[in-house]
Amino acid sequence: MTLKELDFFYKLCDNPHVSQLSKKLFVSQSAISLAIKSLEKKLGEPLFDRIGKKLVLNERGRVFKDKTYESFLALKDAQNFFKDDNISGSLHIASSKTIGNFIMPQIIFDFLLKYENVYIQRDIKNSSEIIDMLRDGRLDMGFIEIDCNHVELVKESIAEDELVVVSCDESLPNEVYIDQLYKKKWILREKGSGTREVFLDALGGLSKKLEIFMEYRDFEEVKKLLLQNKEAITCISKLALQKGLREIKLKNISAKREFYCIYHKNKYHSKLFETFKQFAKSGF
């Protein structure tokens, strides 16, 4: 079996549509199909079930992937080592909403400018979802906004962030006690969000008196609601504070948090993995 055959195999595990993969890699569909058939012939049995226009990884394919993927990455890394210190390959990362919307885009853009032979698949999820994806082996690296103490994951603190209460209500004082805001329509992120968890933890027992009127998942959604409704109020990262929104300081309450880079402790640290991790940490 060849590295090219294996490369096509692992990419099809993530995207079972041959037509889509061929466009992304700029190769013909027949080249991909022939490579997979050649690999299956060498192994003596099919790795995919052919269902419509999709190749669906079957039980033998899942076993083959689990037993060979880390070795494949090591071989690719060794191969790249002799290419004038070239950085190439693909990474699958996920960032929590604040990081994914306000920090990571520029980091990825700058990284791809520097390393042209790299492909980065980027997802934006809440912190709890990213932790689950890493534990299941569905990600290479994650960037989250809450603490993480799972024994199978490694976490590295990379930056500090501050959460602020915001509204567009001009009648509110610049600094208040939290009980002065209980009657406002609080709109918070969904459960599992780092922003929500850190804010409620900072309030402590006072959070029990805070009635959550509505939940949101995207910043643009809550920003629009705030600008159109003076009674609406929320808590966001200071990084997300934009024109039209007022920061309302809370007396005796501080909501600060760490940003973390996390990955599985058994993750193979390829040259690409280590280079991107250090590049991202410096970008924060």
pLDDT band at 144 (very low <50, low <70, confident <90, very high): very high
Position 162 scores a pLDDT of 93
Q: Two tokens at 161?
A: 């962030």
**Separation in Å, CA 274 to CA 36, 113, 200, 236:** 30, 17, 34, 31
12 compared with 92, residue with greater pLDDT: 92
Start-end of H helices in 170-218: 194-203
Q: What is the pTM of this model?
A: 0.66
Name beta bridge partners: 17. 54
**3-14 vs 18-25: helix axis angle to the nearest 10?**
120
Q: Write out the DSSP string of 114-174.
A: H-TTEEEEEEE--HHHHHHHHHTT--SEEEESS----TTEEEEEEEEEEEEEEE--TTS-S
Question: What is the average per-residue pLDDT within 109-131?
Answer: 93
pLDDT band at 81 (very low <50, low <70, confident <90, very high): low
From the candidate CATH numbers 3.40.190.10, 3.10.450.50, 1.10.645.10, 3.30.70.590, the one assigned to the domain spanning 160-258: 3.40.190.10
Decide if pLDDT at 82 tops 80: no
CA-wise closest residue to 273 among 93, 99, 133: 93
The domain locations on the chain are: 1-83, 160-258
Question: What is the average per-residue pLDDT within 183-191?
Answer: 94
1-83: CATH number? 1.10.10.10
Position 268 scores a pLDDT of 84
Q: Two tokens at 31?
A: 């080249």
What is the tens place of the pLDDT at every residue in 34-65? 888 898 899 898 988 887 777 888 888 888 98
Average pLDDT, the chain: 89
Decide if pLDDT at 233 tops 90: yes
- The amino acid present at 217, given as its one-letter code, is R
Position 273 scores a pLDDT of 93
pLDDT band at 104 (very low <50, low <70, confident <90, very high): very high
pLDDT band at 31 (very low <50, low <70, confident <90, very high): confident
- Residue 41 burial (CB count, 10 A): 11
Any long-range contacts for 72-79 (C-beta under 8 Å, 24+ apart)?
72/3, 72/6, 72/7, 72/10, 73/268, 73/270, 74/268, 74/270, 75/3, 76/3, 76/7, 76/270, 77/268, 77/270, 77/271, 77/272, 79/3
What is the tens place of the pLDDT at every residue in 57-67? 888 888 898 88
Position 218 scores a pLDDT of 85
